[in-house]
A = this chain, B = another copy of it.
Amino acid sequence: MTSPEKKPTQRRKRPGGRLQIRDVARLAGVSAITVSRYINNPGKVAKDTGEKIASAIKESGYIPNMVAKGLSSNRTNVVAAIIPTITNSIFADLVSGLSDGLEDNGHRLLIAESGYSLEREMELIQTMIAQRPAGLVVTGQVHTEHGAELLRSIDIPVLETFETGAEPIDMCAGFSNFDASFQMVKGLIEAGYRKIGFVSAPIASNDRATRRREGYFAAMKEAGLNVVPGWVRDAKFAFREGARALGELVEQHPELEAIFFASDVLSIGGVMECQRRKIRFPEDVGICGFDDFELTAMTNPPLTTVRIPRYEIGHKAAAMLMARLNGDETVERSVDLGFEIVWRGSTRLPPQ
């Protein structure tokens, strides 16, 4: 029944698989390596050879196998990004900038969400390393000890985003959350506000929120203003949490003259709550936010907020990674893309 002859190592294990570079080479009448050269650097092959290969590729519909390429060349065209959540639009904008910058350089984007957990971030760093990305983007400058160790030990460019206050592990792109918050509060004080409430995301596992809170305290302290503990609140990233925080603050601390929401998810929620409660701003209480969501320009009156370069951070991050991958070791290690306080009608304005 079974024929005794034993095939001596058949050549192709996967007859259903895709076309290989060898098939294209055969079609073009050259060797596989020449096709490889043409694909990666057309200038390296003679013009007529290149044309033969090009038409062989076109006719056959060959699509290269980047997995094989990655293994053989020891470099992939994938960049990994770990963000807290894609549903917060500041990170969606970051990812968009990153994606645009990477696509322009033939790279793909692998993303994962840590859910604002540093433990989870650390696990994701490991699983991302397993994919052998060409570069790694993380959020913030604080990580678990083991996470930071992993980031230090890998031999690919690592980019921390959204905060530039500390010395980067490798590179960072963002702005100073402390300064931005400090300047906002300082401006409010100059505008005549004295009793200023502060609402931010929970500061656990979130150095950006932590720096913003520190900026608030520092500005208050510098002006010699006392901060009542109840003025400072946590609220998770959700519009309704901002609404809840505003409700609690105005009920429990009617003395407040202004409320600074250190995220526009929260400030928009706060504005909605004001409208529901018929609280007028800036007349009854000044309201300001952080992030410059598109919506902040459309409330009535529009919201004072901090414009941060969300898309630009991603785009710059991509550029920095690409430069490093191209061997440019002169890339700046810490890039501060700045911020801008946008004064609009939801608060009184500082003089001048």
Seen from chain A, the residues whose Cβ lies within 8 Å of a Cβ on chain B are 14, 16-17, 63-68, 70-71, 74, 76, 78, 85-87, 89, 92-93, 95-96, 99-100, 103, 108-113, 126-132, 155, 238-240, 243, 268-269, 272-273, 275-276, 294-295, 297-300
Contacts and interface: CB of A to CB of B under 8 A. Distances in A.
Contacts of A100: 113
A89 B95 CA distance: 13
Contact of A272 (B67, B76, B111, B300): B300
B103 A96 contact: no
Given A66-B132, A130-B65, A96 B85 contact: yes
14 contacts: A16-B155, A17-B74, A63-B126, A67-B67, A78-B110, A87-B93, A100-B113, A108-B127, A109-B112, A239-B295, A240-B297, A243-B298, A272-B295, A275-B300
A239 B298 contact: yes
A109 B82 CA distance: 11
A298 B268 CA distance: 10
Q: Is the interface of A mostly helix, strand, loop or mixed?
A: helix
Contacts of A132: 65-67
Nearest to A65: B132
Given A276-B300, A298-B240, A130 B64 contact: yes
A67 B127 CA distance: 12
Contacts of A110: 78, 108-110
Nearest to A17: B74
6 smallest CB-CB distances across A and B, nearest first, come from: A272-B298, A67-B70, A275-B300, A66-B130, A86-B92, A87-B92
A203 to B, nearest CB: 23
A206 to B, nearest CB: 18
A207 B275 CA distance: 37
Contacts of A129: 63
Contacts of A63: 126, 129-130
Contacts of A16: 155
Contact of A66 (B85, B131, B272): B131
Contact of A99 (B96, B111, B273, B275): B111
A17 B63 CA distance: 28
Contacts of A109: 110-112
Contact of A298 (B108, B112, B128, B269): B269
A67 B132 CA distance: 7
Given A92-B87, A130-B63, A239 B108 contact: no
Nearest to A311: B87
B294 A239 contact: yes
